[in-house]
Structure 1
């Protein structure tokens, strides 16, 4: 039977998944705690604790690896550090540059966790069959699952960015005497790269979730996308690749392209009747 596309049906599916994730504390609590570590604990540690530890700032700025990092840094990034003292340089370098790729773990964690619940979780809870017999199209069902992961992942990322901005400006304000964050690259990272990475990871996770029987199996397989973040983090730490505005722009284009390809394949290959026999 064929059904015409109705976006309301997709929203109903998404709302159902949101409710189930909130009720599953073993899934919900970790994805709420990790962002708090990234946006609260780490910034406060770097801005308030490290500067007060004897020799911490000097050790950071004089470290051979950091000297290599500063030497290889692009001119537009070096310009941001001009006129800063050692403490300010450490804070901007760590929270403004080095930490930037790791912030992408927030949207990835939300999107892959909820998307893995989309079908693998349904199979595990033995509720998939009733869901697949609903009078909605395959496209509406697939879109609803994608929306269930994409909307909260992107919204939470933006909220985390807003809170992170407040903390990294307020905590060291006595030292800077001004607002220094966000840096230009961060706007692209949050509003261009993050949604693209979310779209790519969700399409992949939903496709994987239809093939495995458990939530853990789907989550562990799809979480390999985090390696993308690790690669950029290592690349920036070693001075091989800096996350400049141009690099962020290209990253977003690549991720959007991959997301479009994977999403297209996932939609075309999705068949609810086949899921009942898998």
Structure 2
């Protein structure tokens, strides 16, 4: 464990020194968190009436929105759909850290001494994966807490706020988000072990975000209705993929090939 913790500390120190990576870790989550907060504030001051929402009155017939007015219902629907944004954080942040961790060290020749140490491939990948995964999960959870605080500041009603702490949100953030982080990290490590350019590795690793973008579009268009069941099914699928990618990542990470190729 001392070897793993040492590598994790080294990786985090590298993130702090790399302004580009640090900007992604800090700024991108803040922007994503600000989007639903701003939308809530705008909706609260629009002065919307019941008649303005006649064409989407079905929203008000949903049992979840019993007792809510038009503005409250739209705030609840909008923010619930924006939940997908918080799932993007643990997919985007780790990709940036993991790809720069491996490909960047290839380019600076700092990976060779590490590969030559007695540490096993599994320990090495666990350390690098943890160094990338923890910030991803932390930003998602921190973003959610900031969102809750922002929702309260902008005077969201108690009825709407209850929607934001629905079990659906907790399943998504406490179960699905960490699994998505493992998926993003595993895919990034596999790509980075073969790539020679950090940007190219990030683009390929970023494909993990595309299904989430598609899910966001489907929820905003009404094609998909988010629920705890949807997220439990998604978590089961992602968990199965994680198992495959974790095993594949260890198998494909050929340290001898990396050492000889980058001498």
Q: How does the TM-score come out when normalised to structure 2?
A: 0.90
1:39-58 equivalence runs, <5 A = 39=33, 41-53=34-46
Aligned equivalent of 1:267, options 246, 250, 257: 250
Alignment of 1:85-124 (within 5 A): 85-95=69-79, 97-124=80-107
Indicate the residue corresponding to 1:81 in structure 2: 65
Aligned twin of 2:16: 22
Q: Distance between the aligned counterparts of 1:217 and 1:200, measured in 2? A: 18
Would you say the 8 A contact 1:68–1:239 is kept in 2? no
Question: Residue 126 of structure 1: CA displacement?
Answer: 2.5
Q: Structure 1's 124 and 107: CA in aligned 2 closer, same or farther, altered over 3 A?
A: same
8 Å CA contact 1:123–1:214 kept in 2: the answer is no
SS at match of 1:84: coil
TM-score (norm. length: structure 1): 0.85
Contact kept, 8 Å, 1:57 with 1:90, in 2: the verdict is: no
Q: Write out the 4+ residue segments of structure 1 that deviate beyond 6 Å after TM superposition.
A: none
Which one of 96, 107, 128 corresponds to residue 145 of structure 1? 128
Pair 1:239–1:69, CA change in 2 (3 A):
farther
Query: How big is the shift at 1:112?
Result: 0.8
2:5 corresponding residue in structure 1: 11
Query: What are the equivalent positions in structure 2 for 1:108-257 lying under 5 Å apart?
Result: 108-173=91-156, 175-176=157-158, 179-180=161-162, 181-257=164-240
Q: Which runs of 5+ in 1 are unaligned?
A: 1-6
Contact in 2 for aligned 1:11/1:147 (Cα 8 Å): no
CA contact 2:133–2:185 (8 Å) conserved in 1: yes
Number of matched pairs: 260
Per-residue CA distance 1:5-31 (angstroms, 9 max, x = gap): xx2212211111111011101111132
Q: 1:69 to 1:127 in 2, by over 3 A?
A: farther
Structure 2 unpaired stretches of 5+ = none
